[in-house]
């Protein structure tokens, strides 16, 4: 596990490696995990060959951001937050760190986030971070068809974010 950023005294973002996986489905809060929801999302991320970043609040695993990069220079972020920790700004602050890391350290030129159009809280994350809305598209999932909103941010656009968006 590699510390990417200690955002503040309570919030840290780590890059997780598969060998670091102490997390198992059904983990309890006593083991340093908020719930099995985030743990399962981490396992799915690794199973799909993604780079996984964990979000820890007061040392407790509360969320994850997975980077999928199937096209050279472009990455898609998948966001998961434990229900108990949603609406506190933790995902937005953590995404800012991961986005900067992906564009500067990993050399990506473009980042996408594609939340469900029905998930207003998740859609607010790229909107707060200065992403451009590129329209909707429909994907087939095991549960049926889902309409996703496509947001993107390029390296040059990231440098042009207003100071209000960089907080």
Contact predicate 36/25, CB 8 Å: yes
Contact predicate 69/91, CB 8 Å: no
> Rounded to two decimals, what is the model's pTM?
0.81
Burial 124-140 (b: 16+ CB within 10 A, else e): ebbbbbbbeeeeeeeee
Spatial distance between the Cα atoms of 117 and 148, rounded to a whole number of angstroms: 5
Domain boundaries, the chain: 2-166
Q: Is the predicted pLDDT of residue 9 greater than 50, yes or no?
A: yes
Q: What is the pLDDT of residue 39?
A: 75
- Nearest Cα neighbor of 158 from 81, 73, 101, 76 is 101
Strand ranges across the sheet with 51-57: 2-6, 11-16, 51-57, 60-71, 74-81, 110-113, 144-154, 132-141
The domain made up of 2-166 has a fold known as Aminopeptidase (3.40.630)
Q: Is the predicted pLDDT of residue 44 greater than 90, yes or no?
A: no
Contact predicate 122/87, CB 8 Å: no
Spatial distance between the Cα atoms of 136 and 72, rounded to a whole number of angstroms: 23
Confidence of residue 161 (pLDDT cuts 50, 70, 90): low
Give the mean model confidence (pLDDT) for residues 106-117. 95
Name the strand (E) or helix (H) holding 149.
strand 144-154
Instruction: Please give the residue that has the higher pLDDT: either 103 or 50.
Output: 103
Give the mean model confidence (pLDDT) for residues 128-145. 92
């Amino acid at each position: 596990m590699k510390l990417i950023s200690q955002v503040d005294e309570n919030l840290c973002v780590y890059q997780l490696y598969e060998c670091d996986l102490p997390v198992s489905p059904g983990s309890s809060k006593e083991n340093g995990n908020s719930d099995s929801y985030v743990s399962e999302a981490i396992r799915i991320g690794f199973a799909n060959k993604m780079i996984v970043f964990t979000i820890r609040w007061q040392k407790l695993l509360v969320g994850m951001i997975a980077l999928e990069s199937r096209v050279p220079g472009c990455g898609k972020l998948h966001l998961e937050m434990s229900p108990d920790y949603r609406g506190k700004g933790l995902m937005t602050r953590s995404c800012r760190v991961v986005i900067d890391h992906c564009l500067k350290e990993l050399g990506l030129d473009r980042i996408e986030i594609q939340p469900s159009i029905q998930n207003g809280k998740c859609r607010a994350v790229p909107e707060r971070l200065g992403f451009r809305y590129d329209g909707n598209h429909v994907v087939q999932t095991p549960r049926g068809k889902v309409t996703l909103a496509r947001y993107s941010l390029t390296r040059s656009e990231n440098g042009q974010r207003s100071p209000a968006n960089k907080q």
